[in-house]
A and B are shown apart, each in its own frame.
Chain A
Amino acid sequence: MDIRSQISMVFHLDKCIGCHTCSIACKNIWTDRKGTEYMWWNNVETKPGTGFPTRWEDQEKYKGGWEENKGKLRLKSTDKLKSFTNIFHNPNMPSMDDYYEPWTYDYKALFNPKGSDDQPTAKPISMVSGEYIDIKAGPNWDDDLSGSSVYAKNDINLENLTDEQRDQMFAIERLVMFYFPRICNHCLNPACVASCPSGAMYKRGEDGIVLIDQKRCRAWRSCVSACPYKKTYFNWKSGKSEKCILCFPRVETGQAPACFHSCVGRIRYLGVLLYDAEKIEETASLPEDQIVQAQRDMILDPFDKNVIAEAKKNGIADSTIEAAQNSPVYDFVKKWGIALPPHVEYRTLPMLFYVPPLLPVMSAQDGKQVKNVNEDFFPDFDKARLPIKYLANMFSGGDEKFVRYALEKQSAIRAYRRAVTVGDIDIKDAERALIKADSSKEEAEAIYQAVSLSTFNERFVIPASHREQAIEMYEDPLKHKQETGFGFNEEPKRGL
């Protein structure tokens, strides 16, 4: 066993109101520099929809992630040799057209217009070339455009859905959608790291955050193609790739990442998971429908005496183990089994998990209320407006079992809480429903607490990062007493 700790995340999709506060918080801190205007380390997509960059889930086009060949893993976009022949021109790399060209407006024109019958207008100006442009796409261009034949109908997750199911999704007045906030998944088997020829990308040992060493990045661009979630971005100005850093300077000082901190819907949870790193390759090479379970099995019980002993042997600090014991992510993913990783079939073992959305599924019942009678207690997920198959394509490699489990449990808890607070459901029925959904009163209360009432400190359990030890490995802090500091003192200036 090789136990490591990983800062992991859960997003509860039912709670996301699509306000994009998270994206703005991130943008303000990290990506309002030249060359990064188009980047959204955190973005919120409307599903069904094509996402950002357009159709990022289409791995026929972008060749992101891994593929399995006779039990062996290899990068879909490249192999070792191909990374050299493709280095001059990367055939799978998205270009700015697949994202959008950032722009501002020529506001000056509003202040000194020539006399005319029309109102003066501020024409859009490209933030790249500084010239007037026609805007073709922008951030969240397909926001709320469910039902659109340009966006929603081209969602790659509609694959394997019957025509009937599609028609149902797109019938006017029955349109269905939900929000899908995305950041880097800080995967256990990151394709970006594996693809970087320079070795500039790495996973931090102590917390699993995936980073790009800006000094070693040489703009070979492999990571942009290799990340199946398209969460590494190319900074065209500095000539370096950049990505979500999980706000590590904040995390190291005990603060939640900006998108987590600012989330209005309080959909976000962050905590430590202990896992067995020896199982990474084996798990990632399994058949698609087994990965969800196997990845869950890699996550270890932080209360288990053996696990604690092994973790300590591996140098994991007591404070980290304690954080793992209080981790909300552990509860959602492992204990309750209601949070699922996105697109396991990319085989990167993402460590951001999603609680699949119940709302659109429930309202499948022809707009009627959910019935409270015994037999009909569960909404008929098979008749759902949002086909389970669709969610399964997103969150469990096509296997409906896991999605169904998560939805049934949530639905039973909702009924149970309704019985408790409103009382128009017989509590006995509700309890029976809980048992049928593999839950219990205690668990229902715990989930209710976590989802609806949890406080800031319960949602974000951030371990001390012990940077004091990190520093001592490289430098003697006392040596630098009375100096101006030490570290990365070079100005990040574009090369000649």
Chain B
Amino acid sequence: MEQFNEILNTFFFILLPYLSIFTFFLVSIYRYKKEKFGYSSLSSQFLENKQHFWGLVPFHYGIILILTAHLFWFLFPGTVLVWNNVPLRLYIMEISALLFGLLTIIGLINIFIRRFSDKKVKTVTSPFDWITLIILTTQVVSGLYVAFFFRYGSSWFATSMTPYLLSVLKFSPDLSYINAMPFMVKFHIVNAFTIVLLFPFTRLVHALVLPLPYIIRKFQIVRWNWDRKKTRNAENKSV
């Protein structure tokens, strides 16, 4: 039994993370270089314009906020622990996380309804879309479960998840942080790595090409097919 557990642990918390991370980078970059045409958010707003709002907007605000929170917990574990020292502040942290999660799940439910109910949207829904949506929903639901039943997720993240992830990144994975965790927490982690693994194969790559340069770009873009000062005219023999 113990041995079996160890095999499982090795698979889920050592092999899977490395597989996911390497696949993520390799495939994302490969697709960007070789199959760039497929890099798209594949919007379906054109086919259905009303339900669209109630799905996509809450979902994205929710998921982006909650991911930012995770990133913050990972990068600044010390700050998080100090903040969470005061119970009231811990509650604020946990309740916000719960709310972001709820926002995400509301969005996801609406996205599901929309993709089931609208005939036109259904035709542009690929198996990959269903896989993406199901795995994201699983992730959000397990996250909500953790947030609801073990109301110390953020502190736990700072004390256990951050060191574990760092140990993975340093190529010396240390499972001692993980072992003591409740099943649901472990499930949340494994599912997260699965998302990272599938990420580059799905439309999720759109999140990698967030067009931030637009903020500082000039409005107009002109592409020149030749060097403007070097064109060869009959009398301009310099080139």
Contacts and interface: CB of A to CB of B under 8 A. Distances in A.
A295 B40 CA distance: 37
Interface SS of chain B? loop
B99 to A, nearest CB: 18
Contacts of B122: 129
A2 to B, nearest CB: 10
B34 A205 contact: no
Interface stretch (A12-20, A115-123, A260-268, A311-319): A311-319
A130 B119 CA distance: 9
A414 interface: no
Interface in B200-228: 201-203, 205-206, 209, 211, 213-215, 217, 219-228
A203 B34 contact: no
A365 interface: no
Interface SS of chain A? loop
Given A89-B45, A490-B34, A495-B203, A199 B234 contact: no
Contacts of B41: 218-220, 239
A128 to B, nearest CB: 5
B45 A206 contact: no
A234 B43 contact: yes
Contacts of A238: 37
Contacts of A128: 47, 119-120, 123
B37 A95 contact: no
Contacts of A315: 226-231
Nearest to A217: B40
Interface string A206-244: 100000001111111100100000000010111110000
Nearest to B36: A215
Given A88-B57, A203-B223, A467-B225, A218 B215 contact: no
A201 interface: yes
Interface residues of B, number: 59
Contacts of A224: 46
A466 interface: yes
A197 interface: yes
A317 B233 contact: yes
B186 interface: no
B60 A495 contact: no
A95 B224 contact: no
A221 B40 contact: no
Contacts of B38: 493-496
A204 interface: yes
B120 A312 contact: no
Contacts of A240: 37, 40
Contact of A203 (B205, B214, B221): B221
A205 B223 contact: yes
Interface in B55-97: 56-57, 59-61
A133 B87 CA distance: 59
A291 interface: no
B166 interface: no
Interface stretch (A186-194, A375-383, A395-403): A186-194
A314 B228 contact: yes
A88 B52 CA distance: 9
B43 to A, nearest CB: 4
A237 B221 CA distance: 27
Interface of B: 34-49, 52-53, 56-57, 59-61, 119-120, 122-124, 126, 128, 201-203, 205-206, 209, 211, 213-215, 217, 219-236
5 contacts: A93-B45, A95-B46, A205-B222, A218-B206, A234-B43
